[in-house]
Chain A
Amino acid sequence: MTAALTTDESARLRDVWERLATVTDPELDESVAAMGFAESVRVDGAGDVQIRLRLPTYWCAANFAFLMASDTREAVEALPWAGTVTVELQEHYCADQINLGVNGGLPFQETFSGEADGGLEALRLRFRRKAFQRRQELLLRCLVKRGYTAAALTRLSLPELTDLPLHDAEASRLRMRYVEIIREVGGGTDASGPAFLTVEGRPLDSDTFVAYLRELRRVRVSTEFNAQLCRGLLQARYAGRAPSEMPAYPSTGASRGAASGAEDQG
């Protein structure tokens, strides 16, 4: 199949996969592409796109499944050349409902009328805040390992953090991930303010720094439970059937079995 693609089609496929790398599983804070949830992508000459999604179990929470499906459709529709974008969630207990709702552009409440008493924004925000805490903890632990003291880290400003000379890829990646999410849910952090505030926007105290890290660990351990389990389950469910046509981007290179690196931190 791939061999017969025109340059134009390959470029479009790459565009789609790049967009998929920006869609995150709200609960796991990992991208749909990196988790292997996008099974296949098809693009035709008119710019219509079909994306098949698959999740680790038939029972994955319907709300998160809906968010991933609708975020996927929205992200790909934003491509300037995109025509009709169709998302097909496979083998899920709510697949029919979700596919109908998402491809019809319906909001969650309407897709699940009678089974929901509101939208998903509060739930999404709750998990973005957990993601903020997780990214912050991983970065803090990484910096502590590299010799930065609690006193120095609690005083550090955001521009100073951005300028820190980090010489390894892992530390730079954790910093990039953290800085990215600050803009979204960064408590009260402004561009020149402290690099590290609690998710509620309170400054960190070097005397209670270790206890603070321990608190954050509790949040991360919960998130990683699902992330780790999901990778194993997806592998078992689809017997390692890799997504088709998925190019080996650096951004999605962590997909097959390799943990996010988080596991070895701390």
Chain B
Amino acid sequence: MFRTADGEEVFIIDGHVHLWDASPENQRNVHGAQFINCFHDYHSGLSPAEYVWPIEKFQKYSPETLYEDLFVQGYDDMAICQPTYLTDFYKDGFNTTERNARLKERYPDRIILNGAFDPRDGEAGLEALEALAEKYALTGVKLYTAEWRGDSKGYKLSDPWAQRYLAKCQELGIKNIHPHKGPTILPLNRDAFDVADVDEAATNFPDLNFIVEHVGLPRLDDFCWIATQEPNVYGGLAVAMAFINARPRYFAEIISELLFWLGEDRLLFGSDYAIWQPKWLIEKFMAFELPEDIQEETGVTLNLDVKKKILGENAARLYGIDVEAQKLKLAGARA
């Protein structure tokens, strides 16, 4: 919970967090090492200096560290665990549903546990998804479309098998689909970050919500265009938020574009922990004001009401969280 100077409470759902194991013991190959090194460069490139971890701590951290950083220091009331398996790079996977489930067991009122699927797993994967959904009562999945799998360097949401999996999600009551676009999609002569496949999926499944992680960056222009066409497309702000410290004017440009094209009801805060810490992200965001010229040109507002929606209310709506009831529950747990 964040409290403003006037004592107003802001309920926070962190829409994108990880508990990963990228330790050398778990790395399968050079790609596993390079993957976590790249994350660490993101981390040290954009965090305020006092929040930078050494690579050893960053490779693997404990559930207690996560709890402290998110819920004690970091103002988060709840957090959505978004798994990324990467089993071609890590022996036991990078950040799996099973690993996150142990967190959920320990902190049941804090954690929203999402699953994942990979359409390249075919029929067997459909059954596995069904079992996963039943075991953990999933309401959301994270999809990493750039994940390597043998010779394959990724997939698209418009692929026939992906469509079958989305139909299965609908059937299982998994309403929230969090696709994350990354590079390396084939064929290699096309734009690796293209977000057009989200458009097709969102049109075909109007009852599912598509929360595009990292707001489609670096293709924000295409993403905004798609989101104006598809009412069930949302923007996850992980990564975009992190610019608020080092490049505040640039952050203002991003957020005002998103408010202009998507509006205040379709944006979700996410720290992408442990890449960035919610504490500084939220403090900076709560203190943030749009520069006058940008506000004038776009006509958008970023006041307390809008910030409350972005930081928690929008995610609460998508995940069926009753904020007032949840506050009481969490206060009870602390007492």
- Return chain B residues, CB-CB under 8 Å to A58: 31, 34-35, 37-38
| Interface residues as binary, B189-202 with A (CB distance below 8 Å gives 1, 0 otherwise) | 11111000000000
| Interface residues as binary, A79-112 with B (CB distance below 8 Å gives 1, 0 otherwise) | 0000000000001010000000000000011001
Partner of A232, one of B35, B45, B297: B45
Is B232's beta carbon under 8 Å from chain A?
no
* Chain B nearest Cβ from A5, distance in angstroms: 33
Is B5's beta carbon under 8 Å from chain A?
no
| CA gap between A108 and B187 in the complex, in Å | 12
Q: Which residue of A lies closest to B42 (CB)?
A: A233
| Interface residues as binary, B297-317 with A (CB distance below 8 Å gives 1, 0 otherwise) | 110000000000000000000
* Chain A nearest Cβ from B145, distance in angstroms: 14
| CA gap between A93 and B184 in the complex, in Å | 10
Q: Which residue of B lies closest to A265 (CB)?
A: B249
Tier of interface size on chain A: 35 or more
Instruction: Establish whether residues B221 and A115, one from each chain, have CB atoms under 8 Å apart when the complex forms.
Output: no
Is A158's beta carbon under 8 Å from chain B?
no
Interface residues of B in 175-224 (CB under 8 A from A): 182-184, 186-193, 217-222, 224
Instruction: Establish whether residues A218 and B249, one from each chain, have CB atoms under 8 Å apart when the complex forms.
Output: no
Instruction: Establish whether residues A224 and B250, one from each chain, have CB atoms under 8 Å apart when the complex forms.
Output: yes
| Interface residues as binary, A107-122 with B (CB distance below 8 Å gives 1, 0 otherwise) | 0110010011111101
| CA gap between A33 and B191 in the complex, in Å | 23
Give the dominant DSSP class at B's interface.
helix
- Of the candidate stretches A8-16, A159-167, A209-217, the one touching chain B is A209-217
Is B153's beta carbon under 8 Å from chain A?
yes
Interface residues of A in 116-135 (CB under 8 A from B): 116-120, 122-123, 126
Interface residues of A in 175-226 (CB under 8 A from B): 210, 213-214, 217-219, 221-226
Total inter-chain residue pairs, C-beta < 8 Å? 117
Instruction: Establish whether residues A225 and B218, one from each chain, have CB atoms under 8 Å apart when the complex forms.
Output: yes
Is B246's beta carbon under 8 Å from chain A?
yes
- Return chain B residues, CB-CB under 8 Å to A56: 41
Among B34, B186, B218, B294, which residue has the most Cβ atoms of chain A within 10 A? B218
Is A258's beta carbon under 8 Å from chain B?
no
Instruction: Establish whether residues B297 and A213, one from each chain, have CB atoms under 8 Å apart when the complex forms.
Output: yes
- Return chain A residues, CB-CB under 8 Å to B188: 62-63, 108, 112, 115-116
Instruction: Establish whether residues B34 and A93, one from each chain, have CB atoms under 8 Å apart when the complex forms.
Output: yes
Instruction: Establish whether residues B190 and A123, one from each chain, have CB atoms under 8 Å apart when the complex forms.
Output: yes
Is B66's beta carbon under 8 Å from chain A?
no
Is B69's beta carbon under 8 Å from chain A?
no
Is A172's beta carbon under 8 Å from chain B?
no
Instruction: Establish whether residues A93 and B221, one from each chain, have CB atoms under 8 Å apart when the complex forms.
Output: no
Q: Which residue of A lies closest to B191 (CB)?
A: A123
Is B46's beta carbon under 8 Å from chain A?
yes
Instruction: Establish whether residues B221 and A237, one from each chain, have CB atoms under 8 Å apart when the complex forms.
Output: no
Instruction: Establish whether residues A236 and B153, one from each chain, have CB atoms under 8 Å apart when the complex forms.
Output: no
Q: Which residue of A lies closest to B243 (CB)?
A: A228
Q: A61-B193, A123-B191 are in contact. Are A229 and B45 (CB under 8 A)?
A: yes
Q: A225-B218, A226-B218, A228-B243 are in contact. Are A266 and B41 (CB under 8 A)?
A: no
Instruction: Establish whether residues B41 and A228, one from each chain, have CB atoms under 8 Å apart when the complex forms.
Output: no
* Chain B nearest Cβ from A137, distance in angstroms: 12
* Chain A nearest Cβ from B89, distance in angstroms: 11
* Chain A nearest Cβ from B66, distance in angstroms: 23
Instruction: Establish whether residues A61 and B243, one from each chain, have CB atoms under 8 Å apart when the complex forms.
Output: no
Instruction: Establish whether residues A57 and B220, one from each chain, have CB atoms under 8 Å apart when the complex forms.
Output: no
Instruction: Establish whether residues B249 and A263, one from each chain, have CB atoms under 8 Å apart when the complex forms.
Output: yes
| Interface residues as binary, A4-45 with B (CB distance below 8 Å gives 1, 0 otherwise) | 000000000000000000000001000000000000000000
Instruction: Establish whether residues A59 and B249, one from each chain, have CB atoms under 8 Å apart when the complex forms.
Output: no
Q: Which residue of A lies closest to B31 (CB)?
A: A93
Q: Which residues of A contact B (CB under 8 A)?
A: 27, 56-63, 91, 93, 108-109, 112, 115-120, 122-123, 126, 210, 213-214, 217-219, 221-226, 228-229, 232-233, 235-237, 263-264, 266
Q: Which residues of B contact A (CB under 8 A)?
A: 31, 34-35, 37-38, 40-42, 44-46, 153, 182-184, 186-193, 217-222, 224, 243, 246-247, 249-250, 253-254, 257, 260-261, 293-294, 297-298
6 contacts between A and B (CB under 8 A): A93-B184, A117-B187, A118-B189, A210-B297, A228-B243, A236-B41
Other than the known A217-B253, A217-B257, what 13 A-B pairs have Cβ atoms closer than 8 Å? A58-B35, A58-B37, A62-B192, A63-B192, A115-B186, A218-B257, A225-B254, A228-B250, A236-B40, A236-B41, A236-B45, A263-B250, A266-B293
